[in-house]
Structure 1
Amino acid sequence: MTRRTPALAHLRAPVVALLTALVAASAVLLGAGSAEAAGYRYWSFWEGNGKNWEYATQGPAVLRPDDGTVQGFRFAVSEDSGDADQPRRAPDFGAICADTPAEDGSKRIALVIDPGTAADAPDGEKPPALRTACAQVAPDASSADALASVAKPLRYDSSAMLCAISGYPKSGCGEQVSGDGSGKSSGPSRTAEEAEGADEGGDGGSGGPSVGLLVGIGAVLLLGIAAVIQARRRR
């Protein structure tokens, strides 16, 4: 027993060192991924299914809703459609359009316009109050037409992305904001529209290390530990 103790003590040092390196490397990479995580400040577009909200698969300029449809717009900071904040009012057509009778030659679209919270607002701006409206428009009108009939002025960018409803926000359009919790813009970067494209079919562009990378690093270091142990045993 007295002869083995020095050997085990000598073996423990490199094993501990390698384990420490593994933990440190993982912590650094995971920390970098969290620090670089960011969101996009934009108006998301939703459709009511009678009880809940569903993220719209078409833009408001393309979608031509039927009479009796409920649609929502929510301004917030989110990474992508998967974690986007829904409008904070239920999609209730009967309640929103109760005072707007049906008319021949037109359709009624119930709209929930939710500018979000102060935490999502650009610097120096205060979000207006959430409101609802019943748009009565032509039968072939798009969602954008319905919105324009009750919430001007609207602002779009060169790619037809909706940037502002009723003048809010005053500037910006789907800009990336920092992931440090400050809500401030991180400077020139991808827009929300570009991020959606990357999420659907690109390289992801998340900025953080992948799980595969971390697993690979861990595997290499563990193999190193095993090699040290084996080498010490042969001595």
Structure 2
Amino acid sequence: MLVSAAVPAQAAGYRYWSFWERTDGAWAYARQGPAALRPSDGDVLGFRFSVSENSGDAAKPRGPAGFQEICGGTAAEDGTKRIALSVDFGTAEDAPGGERPPEGRTACARVTEDATAADALAATMKPLRYGSSALLCAIDGYPGRGCGEEVSADGSPESQPEPDSGPADADAPDGGDGGTAVGVGVGVGVVVALAAGAFWQTRRRRD
């Protein structure tokens, strides 16, 4: 895994996509990674791209965050669930050199009842890009490079980014089997869920 036991004193943190759940009208850092979490109909999930050291200082998603605001025009349907997604591409200060963050996006994903958060994301925010250890690297093609790299206080990379496995939309499941191996191949769903879950758990423990 890319995450080390401690961030060096000169480092500002890591540049990555953080994952959030909307609970009681407020954003809470997700306890599981998107490949492991299976949300329910009516849930609101958020993603925010930023540089942060741990979940305590992670920037929360901005913009629309209510289920009715995002999914109010999508009727319930037997055999499916509706997941509201709010994606915040962050600020210019957190962007990799030479890239400009797009405007934030929301989407109402209609997926099968056993679908994961990653399935909902793949259904609405392609192209996605994942790293070799199932770390989410890019949503809707942003950023175009890098994956969870350590960043110094001046914004320059402290370490080489994790190798990525390329765009995931071609291999992403359609939600029919509720698989967790979004864009990282068939037959490794368990490994993907554990790796992604471990990444988010590590972020929480480093508060």
Q: Which bin holds the TM-score, normalised by the shorter protein?
A: 0.7 to 0.9
Q: Distance in 2 between matches of 1:198 and 1:116?
A: 18
Following the alignment from structure 1 to structure 2, what is the Cα–Cα distance between the partners of residues 96 and 41?
27
Change (3 A) 1:188 1:141: same
CA contact (8 A) 1:176 1:190 kept: no
Question: Which residue is 1:183 aligned to?
Answer: 155
| Contact 2:32-2:200 at 8 Å conserved across structures | no
Q: Does 1:133 align with 2:107?
A: yes
**Greater helix fraction, Structure 1 or Structure 2:** 1
Query: Is 1:50–1:92's contact at 8 Å kept on the other side of the alignment?
Result: no
CA contact (8 A) 2:135 2:199 kept: no
Gaps of 5+ in 1: 1-32, 205-235
Q: TM-score, normalised by structure 1?
A: 0.65
**Larger strand share, 1 or 2:** 2
- What TM-score results when the alignment is normalised by the length of structure 2? 0.74
The answer for unaligned runs of 5 or more in structure 2 is: 1-6, 164-197
RMSD: 2.6
Shift of the alpha carbon at 1:194?
6.7
Residues 119 and 174 (structure 1), Cα distance of their counterparts in 2 relative to 1, 3 Å cut: same
2:168 is aligned to none
Of residues 152, 175, 200, the one that matches 2:205 is: 200
- Aligned-pair identity in percent equals 58
CA distance in 2, matches of 1:77, 1:174: 9
**After superposition, what is the alpha-carbon deviation per residue over 1:34-87, rounded to whole angstroms, capped at 9, x for unaligned?**
961421000000000131000001000000000000000000000111110000
Per the TM alignment, residue 187 of structure 1 is displaced from its structure 2 partner at its CA by 3.0
Q: Residue type matched to 2:150 in 1?
A: Q
Tell me, yes or no, if the aligned pair for 1:96 and 1:110 is still in contact at 8 Å.
yes
| CA shift in 2, pair 1:70/1:194, >3 Å | closer
Partner SS state of residue 56, structure 2? helix
Contact preservation (8 Å) 1:51, 1:90: no
Paired position in structure 1 for 2:88: 114
